[in-house]
Protein backbone atom coordinates (compact mmCIF):
# COMPACT_ATOMS: atom_id res chain seq x y z
CA UNK A 1 0.00 0.00 0.00
CA UNK A 2 2.83 2.36 1.03
CA UNK A 3 4.60 1.55 -2.25
CA UNK A 4 1.47 2.36 -4.26
CA UNK A 5 1.04 5.69 -2.42
CA UNK A 6 4.67 6.58 -3.07
CA UNK A 7 4.30 5.71 -6.74
CA UNK A 8 1.19 7.87 -6.97
CA UNK A 9 3.02 10.73 -5.30
CA UNK A 10 5.95 10.44 -7.72
CA UNK A 11 3.54 10.33 -10.66
CA UNK A 12 1.70 13.41 -9.39
CA UNK A 13 4.89 15.38 -8.82
CA UNK A 14 6.31 14.50 -12.24
CA UNK A 15 2.96 15.33 -13.84
CA UNK A 16 3.10 18.77 -12.19
CA UNK A 17 6.61 19.33 -13.51
CA UNK A 18 5.64 18.20 -16.98
CA UNK A 19 2.66 20.53 -16.92
CA UNK A 20 4.74 23.49 -15.72
CA UNK A 21 7.42 22.69 -18.31
CA UNK A 22 4.79 22.45 -21.03
CA UNK A 23 3.43 25.87 -20.12
CA UNK A 24 6.88 27.42 -20.35
CA UNK A 25 7.45 25.89 -23.79
CA UNK A 26 4.07 27.13 -24.91
CA UNK A 27 5.05 30.66 -23.84
CA UNK A 28 8.34 30.45 -25.71
CA UNK A 29 6.59 29.12 -28.79
CA UNK A 30 3.81 31.71 -28.60
CA UNK A 31 3.69 33.66 -31.84
CA UNK A 32 5.19 37.14 -31.92
CA UNK A 33 2.45 39.73 -31.64
CA UNK A 34 2.96 42.30 -34.39
CA UNK A 35 0.48 45.17 -34.51
CA UNK A 36 -0.27 47.25 -37.59
CA UNK A 37 -1.58 50.49 -36.09
CA UNK A 38 -3.16 52.60 -38.81
CA UNK A 39 -4.31 56.23 -39.01
CA UNK A 40 -7.96 55.24 -38.64
CA UNK A 41 -10.32 52.32 -39.19
CA UNK A 42 -12.82 52.17 -42.05
CA UNK A 43 -10.22 53.03 -44.72
CA UNK A 44 -9.99 50.51 -47.58
CA UNK A 45 -6.33 51.36 -48.11
CA UNK A 46 -5.46 50.23 -44.58
CA UNK A 47 -7.66 47.16 -44.85
CA UNK A 48 -5.46 46.12 -47.77
CA UNK A 49 -2.38 46.87 -45.60
CA UNK A 50 -3.85 44.48 -43.00
CA UNK A 51 -4.17 41.73 -45.64
CA UNK A 52 -0.46 42.12 -46.33
CA UNK A 53 0.30 41.74 -42.62
CA UNK A 54 -1.65 38.48 -42.46
CA UNK A 55 0.11 37.20 -45.58
CA UNK A 56 3.56 37.88 -44.08
CA UNK A 57 2.53 36.33 -40.74
CA UNK A 58 1.47 33.14 -42.49
CA UNK A 59 4.76 32.95 -44.35
CA UNK A 60 6.84 33.63 -41.25
CA UNK A 61 4.88 31.11 -39.20
CA UNK A 62 5.82 32.55 -35.79
CA UNK A 63 3.83 35.77 -36.08
CA UNK A 64 0.32 36.85 -35.15
CA UNK A 65 -0.71 39.91 -37.17
CA UNK A 66 -3.01 42.30 -35.31
CA UNK A 67 -4.77 45.22 -37.03
CA UNK A 68 -5.76 48.27 -34.96
CA UNK A 69 -6.61 51.94 -35.37
CA UNK A 70 -8.62 54.74 -33.80
CA UNK A 71 -12.06 55.64 -35.17
CA UNK A 72 -10.80 59.03 -36.40
CA UNK A 73 -7.35 60.03 -37.71
CA UNK A 74 -6.00 61.62 -34.52
CA UNK A 75 -2.73 61.33 -32.65
CA UNK A 76 -4.64 61.12 -29.35
CA UNK A 77 -6.50 58.03 -30.51
CA UNK A 78 -3.24 56.35 -31.50
CA UNK A 79 -1.52 57.30 -28.22
CA UNK A 80 -4.32 55.65 -26.24
CA UNK A 81 -3.96 52.44 -28.24
CA UNK A 82 -0.16 52.39 -27.86
CA UNK A 83 -0.55 52.71 -24.07
CA UNK A 84 -2.71 49.59 -24.00
CA UNK A 85 -0.27 47.75 -26.28
CA UNK A 86 2.55 48.54 -23.84
CA UNK A 87 0.45 47.08 -21.00
CA UNK A 88 -0.23 43.97 -23.11
CA UNK A 89 3.49 43.61 -23.89
CA UNK A 90 3.11 43.04 -27.61
CA UNK A 91 6.36 42.39 -29.49
CA UNK A 92 6.24 45.01 -32.24
CA UNK A 93 4.16 47.90 -33.54
CA UNK A 94 4.23 49.34 -37.07
CA UNK A 95 2.49 52.72 -37.07
CA UNK A 96 1.10 54.93 -39.84
CA UNK A 97 1.33 58.10 -37.78
CA UNK A 98 -1.25 60.85 -37.51
CA UNK A 99 1.49 63.19 -36.25
CA UNK A 100 5.24 62.82 -36.67
CA UNK A 101 6.11 64.39 -33.28
CA UNK A 102 3.13 63.87 -30.96
CA UNK A 103 3.60 60.10 -30.82
CA UNK A 104 7.27 60.23 -29.82
CA UNK A 105 6.89 60.17 -25.99
CA UNK A 106 4.60 57.12 -26.05
CA UNK A 107 6.59 55.23 -28.70
CA UNK A 108 9.77 55.92 -26.70
CA UNK A 109 8.01 54.44 -23.68
CA UNK A 110 7.08 51.39 -25.78
CA UNK A 111 10.66 50.92 -26.97
CA UNK A 112 11.93 51.22 -23.39
CA UNK A 113 9.51 48.42 -22.50
CA UNK A 114 11.20 46.23 -25.12
CA UNK A 115 8.68 46.68 -27.92
CA UNK A 116 10.13 47.21 -31.41
CA UNK A 117 8.53 50.24 -33.04
CA UNK A 118 8.62 51.28 -36.68
CA UNK A 119 6.55 53.65 -38.75
CA UNK A 120 5.28 53.01 -42.25
CA UNK A 121 3.23 54.99 -44.76
CA UNK A 122 3.14 58.14 -42.58
CA UNK A 123 6.28 58.47 -40.53
CA UNK A 124 7.24 59.19 -36.92
CA UNK A 125 10.21 61.54 -36.58
CA UNK A 126 13.66 60.25 -35.72
CA UNK A 127 13.87 59.17 -32.07
CA UNK A 128 10.33 57.81 -31.97
CA UNK A 129 10.89 54.67 -34.04
CA UNK A 130 13.64 52.41 -35.32
CA UNK A 131 12.76 52.17 -39.02
CA UNK A 132 10.50 54.36 -41.15
CA UNK A 133 9.26 52.64 -44.30
CA UNK A 134 7.94 54.93 -47.01
CA UNK A 135 6.05 53.47 -49.97
CA UNK A 136 8.14 55.43 -52.45
CA UNK A 137 10.52 58.39 -52.48
CA UNK A 138 8.56 61.44 -51.27
CA UNK A 139 9.98 63.75 -53.92
CA UNK A 140 8.94 61.39 -56.69
CA UNK A 141 5.40 61.04 -55.35
CA UNK A 142 4.90 64.80 -54.93
CA UNK A 143 6.33 65.83 -58.29
CA UNK A 144 4.41 63.10 -60.09
CA UNK A 145 1.10 64.37 -58.70
CA UNK A 146 1.69 67.79 -60.29
CA UNK A 147 2.78 66.25 -63.59
CA UNK A 148 -0.40 64.14 -63.69
CA UNK A 149 -2.74 67.12 -63.18
CA UNK A 150 -0.78 69.33 -65.60
CA UNK A 151 -1.26 66.75 -68.36
CA UNK A 152 -5.00 66.74 -67.68
CA UNK A 153 -5.47 70.52 -67.50
CA UNK A 154 -3.20 71.37 -70.42
CA UNK A 155 -0.87 73.17 -68.01
CA UNK A 156 -3.49 75.83 -67.28
CA UNK A 157 -5.65 77.20 -64.49
CA UNK A 158 -6.12 77.06 -60.76
CA UNK A 159 -5.39 73.88 -58.82
CA UNK A 160 -6.65 72.94 -55.35
CA UNK A 161 -5.43 70.16 -53.08
CA UNK A 162 -7.80 68.06 -50.98
CA UNK A 163 -5.45 66.52 -48.41
CA UNK A 164 -5.92 64.23 -45.41
CA UNK A 165 -5.28 65.77 -41.95
CA UNK A 166 -3.18 68.91 -41.56
CA UNK A 167 -0.70 66.93 -39.40
CA UNK A 168 -0.27 63.90 -41.69
CA UNK A 169 3.46 63.29 -42.19
CA UNK A 170 3.10 61.67 -45.59
CA UNK A 171 0.67 64.10 -47.25
CA UNK A 172 2.57 67.12 -45.89
CA UNK A 173 5.85 65.83 -47.29
CA UNK A 174 4.29 65.16 -50.70
CA UNK A 175 2.62 68.60 -50.76
CA UNK A 176 5.96 70.30 -50.03
CA UNK A 177 7.32 68.60 -53.15
CA UNK A 178 4.26 69.65 -55.14
CA UNK A 179 5.06 73.29 -54.32
CA UNK A 180 8.64 72.67 -55.47
CA UNK A 181 7.49 71.13 -58.74
CA UNK A 182 5.11 74.03 -59.44
CA UNK A 183 8.14 76.37 -59.42
CA UNK A 184 9.19 75.00 -62.81
CA UNK A 185 8.56 77.45 -65.67
CA UNK A 186 6.43 74.94 -67.53
CA UNK A 187 3.71 75.50 -64.92
CA UNK A 188 3.69 79.31 -65.31
CA UNK A 189 0.01 79.30 -66.34
CA UNK A 190 -1.00 77.18 -63.36
CA UNK A 191 -1.56 78.33 -59.81
CA UNK A 192 -1.83 76.23 -56.67
CA UNK A 193 -4.58 78.20 -54.92
CA UNK A 194 -5.33 76.33 -51.70
CA UNK A 195 -4.77 73.19 -49.67
CA UNK A 196 -7.86 72.01 -47.79
CA UNK A 197 -8.10 69.15 -45.31
CA UNK A 198 -10.76 66.43 -45.39
CA UNK A 199 -9.14 64.60 -42.44
CA UNK A 200 -9.46 61.26 -44.26
CA UNK A 201 -13.19 61.39 -43.48
CA UNK A 202 -15.44 60.95 -46.53
CA UNK A 203 -18.04 63.56 -45.58
CA UNK A 204 -15.55 66.29 -44.67
CA UNK A 205 -13.44 65.60 -47.78
CA UNK A 206 -16.59 65.84 -49.92
CA UNK A 207 -17.62 69.18 -48.36
CA UNK A 208 -14.11 70.59 -48.80
CA UNK A 209 -14.01 69.57 -52.47
CA UNK A 210 -17.41 71.19 -53.13
CA UNK A 211 -16.28 74.36 -51.32
CA UNK A 212 -13.11 74.54 -53.44
CA UNK A 213 -15.10 74.39 -56.66
CA UNK A 214 -17.50 77.08 -55.44
CA UNK A 215 -14.76 79.37 -54.17
CA UNK A 216 -12.57 79.24 -57.30
CA UNK A 217 -14.49 79.55 -60.58
CA UNK A 218 -11.15 79.29 -62.38
CA UNK A 219 -10.44 75.90 -60.84
CA UNK A 220 -9.28 73.43 -63.50
CA UNK A 221 -8.01 70.64 -61.30
CA UNK A 222 -8.00 68.95 -57.91
CA UNK A 223 -5.11 66.88 -56.59
CA UNK A 224 -6.13 64.62 -53.72
CA UNK A 225 -3.18 62.63 -52.39
CA UNK A 226 -5.32 60.46 -50.13
CA UNK A 227 -7.48 57.48 -51.05
CA UNK A 228 -10.40 58.81 -48.99
CA UNK A 229 -10.04 62.35 -50.38
CA UNK A 230 -9.85 61.39 -54.05
CA UNK A 231 -12.95 59.20 -53.82
CA UNK A 232 -14.94 61.95 -52.10
CA UNK A 233 -13.65 64.54 -54.61
CA UNK A 234 -14.74 62.36 -57.54
CA UNK A 235 -18.24 62.18 -56.10
CA UNK A 236 -18.25 65.95 -55.48
CA UNK A 237 -17.20 66.65 -59.10
CA UNK A 238 -20.01 64.43 -60.40
CA UNK A 239 -22.64 65.86 -58.06
CA UNK A 240 -21.64 69.41 -59.04
CA UNK A 241 -21.70 68.43 -62.75
CA UNK A 242 -18.09 69.55 -63.12
CA UNK A 243 -16.76 66.54 -65.07
CA UNK A 244 -14.48 67.76 -67.81
CA UNK A 245 -14.31 71.24 -66.25
CA UNK A 246 -12.47 70.22 -63.11
CA UNK A 247 -9.94 67.44 -63.65
CA UNK A 248 -9.00 65.10 -60.82
CA UNK A 249 -5.88 63.19 -59.91
CA UNK A 250 -4.26 61.98 -56.71
CA UNK A 251 -3.56 58.75 -54.89
CA UNK A 252 -6.50 56.40 -55.18
CA UNK A 253 -7.29 52.79 -54.42
CA UNK A 254 -8.10 51.15 -57.79
CA UNK A 255 -10.95 49.05 -56.36
CA UNK A 256 -12.63 52.20 -55.03
CA UNK A 257 -11.88 54.44 -58.04
CA UNK A 258 -12.52 52.07 -60.95
CA UNK A 259 -15.94 53.59 -61.71
CA UNK A 260 -14.58 57.15 -61.82
CA UNK A 261 -11.54 56.18 -63.89
CA UNK A 262 -13.73 54.37 -66.39
CA UNK A 263 -16.24 57.23 -66.70
CA UNK A 264 -13.50 59.85 -67.08
CA UNK A 265 -14.09 61.85 -63.87
CA UNK A 266 -10.53 60.91 -62.93
CA UNK A 267 -8.53 60.12 -66.05
CA UNK A 268 -5.34 59.11 -64.25
CA UNK A 269 -4.06 58.69 -60.70
CA UNK A 270 -1.25 56.93 -58.87
CA UNK A 271 -0.67 54.62 -55.91
CA UNK A 272 1.47 51.73 -54.74
CA UNK A 273 0.31 48.36 -53.52
CA UNK A 274 -0.95 48.71 -49.91
CA UNK A 275 -0.85 44.93 -49.46
CA UNK A 276 2.91 45.07 -50.11
CA UNK A 277 3.21 47.85 -47.53
CA UNK A 278 1.64 45.74 -44.75
CA UNK A 279 3.61 42.69 -45.87
CA UNK A 280 6.96 44.51 -45.91
CA UNK A 281 6.35 46.24 -42.57
CA UNK A 282 5.61 42.90 -40.91
CA UNK A 283 8.75 41.36 -42.41
CA UNK A 284 10.86 44.28 -41.13
CA UNK A 285 9.39 44.12 -37.62
CA UNK A 286 9.91 40.37 -37.37
CA UNK A 287 13.58 40.85 -38.31
CA UNK A 288 13.93 43.54 -35.63
CA UNK A 289 12.16 41.52 -32.93
CA UNK A 290 14.12 38.34 -33.54
CA UNK A 291 17.37 40.30 -33.64
CA UNK A 292 18.24 39.38 -37.23
CA UNK A 293 19.00 43.09 -37.69
CA UNK A 294 19.22 46.09 -35.37
CA UNK A 295 17.83 48.53 -37.93
CA UNK A 296 21.10 50.35 -38.54
CA UNK A 297 22.09 52.04 -41.77
CA UNK A 298 23.22 49.41 -44.27
CA UNK A 299 21.28 46.56 -42.63
CA UNK A 300 19.56 44.37 -45.19
CA UNK A 301 16.29 42.65 -44.41
CA UNK A 302 14.98 39.69 -46.34
CA UNK A 303 11.40 40.77 -47.02
CA UNK A 304 10.19 37.59 -48.73
CA UNK A 305 8.57 38.22 -52.10
CA UNK A 306 9.51 41.92 -51.84
CA UNK A 307 13.21 41.04 -51.98
CA UNK A 308 15.93 42.64 -49.84
CA UNK A 309 15.04 45.94 -48.15
CA UNK A 310 18.03 48.04 -47.19
CA UNK A 311 17.89 50.41 -44.24
CA UNK A 312 19.23 53.82 -45.22
CA UNK A 313 20.24 56.89 -43.26
CA UNK A 314 18.18 57.66 -40.13
CA UNK A 315 16.39 54.30 -40.37
CA UNK A 316 14.66 55.25 -43.62
CA UNK A 317 13.59 52.53 -46.01
CA UNK A 318 11.82 52.75 -49.37
CA UNK A 319 9.52 50.13 -50.85
CA UNK A 320 9.20 50.83 -54.59
CA UNK A 321 7.76 53.15 -57.23
CA UNK A 322 4.12 54.14 -57.65
CA UNK A 323 1.89 52.73 -60.38
CA UNK A 324 -0.12 55.08 -62.59
CA UNK A 325 -3.66 53.93 -63.29
CA UNK A 326 -5.90 54.85 -66.21
CA UNK A 327 -8.82 53.23 -68.02
CA UNK A 328 -6.52 50.74 -69.76
CA UNK A 329 -5.19 49.08 -66.62
CA UNK A 330 -7.63 49.96 -63.82
CA UNK A 331 -9.68 46.73 -64.01
CA UNK A 332 -6.58 44.58 -63.55
CA UNK A 333 -5.46 46.51 -60.44
CA UNK A 334 -8.98 46.88 -59.03
CA UNK A 335 -9.09 43.10 -58.77
CA UNK A 336 -6.01 43.18 -56.54
CA UNK A 337 -6.46 46.18 -54.19
Q: Which residues in this chain contact ligand RAM in the complex, by CB under 6 A?
A: 39, 43, 45, 96, 121-122, 164, 170, 200, 226-228, 251
CB of 145 to ligand RAM, least distance (A): 11
Please give the full DSSP string across 103-161, using - where no structure is assigned.
THHHHHHHHHTT-EEEEESSPPPTTS-SEEEESS-HHHHHHHHHHHHHHHHTT-EEEEE
For residue 7, how many other CB atoms are within 10 A of its CB?
A: 10
Q: Between 63 and 197, whose beta carbon lies closer to ligand RAM?
A: 197
Contacts of residue 104, defined as CB under 8 A and 6 or more positions apart, other chains included, come to: 124, 125, 127, 128
CB of 268 to ligand RAM, least distance (A): 15
Kindly state the helix (H) or strand (E) to which residue 93 belongs, with its residue range: strand 92-95
Q: Between 96 and 144, whose beta carbon lies closer to ligand RAM?
A: 96
Residues paired with 309 in a beta bridge: 301
Q: Between 257 and 293, whose beta carbon lies closer to ligand RAM?
A: 257
Q: Between 35 and 287, whose beta carbon lies closer to ligand RAM?
A: 35
CB of 231 to ligand RAM, least distance (A): 10
Phi (first) and psi of residue 132, to 5 degrees: -120, 115
Q: Between 158 and 171, whose beta carbon lies closer to ligand RAM?
A: 171
CB of 202 to ligand RAM, least distance (A): 11
Contacts of residue 263, defined as CB under 8 A and 6 or more positions apart, other chains included, come to: 243
**Left, alpha or beta for 296 (phi > 0: left; psi -120 to 50: alpha)?**
beta
CB of 121 to ligand RAM, least distance (A): 5
In angstroms, the CA 154 to CA 187 distance is 10
Collapse the DSSP code of 98 into the 3-class scheme (helix H, G, I; strand E, B; otherwise coil) and give the result.
Answer: coil
Q: Between 41 and 79, whose beta carbon lies closer to ligand RAM?
A: 41
Position of minimal CB gap to ligand RAM: 45
CB of 276 to ligand RAM, least distance (A): 13
Amino acid sequence: MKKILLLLLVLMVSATFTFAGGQKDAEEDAPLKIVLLVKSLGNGFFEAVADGGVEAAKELGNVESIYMGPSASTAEGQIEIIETLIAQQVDGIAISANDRDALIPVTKKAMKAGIKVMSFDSGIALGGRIVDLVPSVEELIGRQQVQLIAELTDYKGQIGIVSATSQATNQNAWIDWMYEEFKDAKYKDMELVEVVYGDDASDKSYREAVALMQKYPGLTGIISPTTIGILASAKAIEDESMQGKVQLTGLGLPSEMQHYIENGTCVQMALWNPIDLGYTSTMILEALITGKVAGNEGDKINAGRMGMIEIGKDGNAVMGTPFVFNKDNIAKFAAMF
